[in-house]
Amino acid sequence: MPIDLKEFRQKLSYTAQASIKQVIADLQEIAEIDHLAELKQKEYGRKALYYFIGIVISVILLILGASFISNIQLWGLLALLFIVSILGLAIAFIMALVKRSKFGRINIINYRYQSTQKILQMLSRDMDSNANINLHLSFNITEKNEHKTSTIPHSIKSGWKIDNYQHEWMRIQGQFLDKTRFELSATSLSKKQYGWKRGSSGKNKYKSKIKLVGLDIHLNMVYSQRRYGAIKVLKDEMDGALKLPKLSHLRNLRLTDKSMQLAVRISPNVADNQNEIYQTVTAMFLSLYQVLNLAKALSK
């Protein structure tokens, strides 16, 4: 279904319950919207710069004209033309900035839809082509007040504070051909340090710094006890089945009679890398299915 651009600009999120084919098509449309927004933002940014240069040149010429033109009547006519030009350029400058800001609103975070699309294409290989999935994808920045989890004093800098943020920007729910249900989520973590600092001139200046903490990937798989009933005897073998990328590390691993829950954190330096996210998610699914396949063999 076509993306409602007005609603998308307002919410900066995408939610769907549809087939993977339809969802991937929607993500491709979002990618095209983002690409157009990037081009338009650059275009109106250049126009704003040209209009500003035109204003500066017109003001300089107006000042020079006042110094070198002695004919009052001629000067009055030229001054009127310059003033009209400056006003026209100023209006065009403001309009270009407004349009740049408008397209900047939908110049969204690329890696989120790119990694999600690759993950869905991977998952589709083991799903019914007509089966629906639930997807929620947010393009809002992590450092919003609604995503703030806590505020603590800075441990070193007196008077400074640290805001901690947590934003779940992706959640996918679906079912594989073997009836195993899965729920996958990605949550960005960051912190913002801020406070007043005395500069070299002696004046106090407000400073802030944002630091990425990492990206938490959570995977929950609910499987058939009848098919994979022997999985309980493999509880001690779970850790050995995990094969994660070097820049991802295990946060939590839990096995119950009905489900497996796996939590992995991707290092902050690659937390916005679509390939690293995709490889980590793929490794998580393969690792858990290695355990399930062994349990299936033992059950037989």
What average pLDDT does the segment 286-297 reach? 79
Residue 257 confidence (pLDDT): 75
Model-wide pTM > 0.75: yes
pLDDT tens string 198-236: 777 778 888 889 999 999 999 999 987 777 666 666 666
Residue 29 confidence (pLDDT): 94
Helix axes 20-68, 72-105, angle to 10 degrees: 160
What average pLDDT does the segment 155-163 reach? 86
User: Is residue 243 scored above 70 in pLDDT?
Assistant: yes
End-to-end CA distance of the chain: 44
Measured distance CA(31)–CA(24) in Å, rounded: 10
pLDDT tens string 125-158: 999 988 899 999 999 999 999 999 999 988 888 8
DSSP conformation class of 236: G
One-letter identity of residue 268: P
User: Is residue 280 scored above 80 in pLDDT?
Assistant: yes
Residue 270 confidence (pLDDT): 94
Residue 224 confidence (pLDDT): 75
User: Is residue 164 scored above 90 in pLDDT?
Assistant: yes
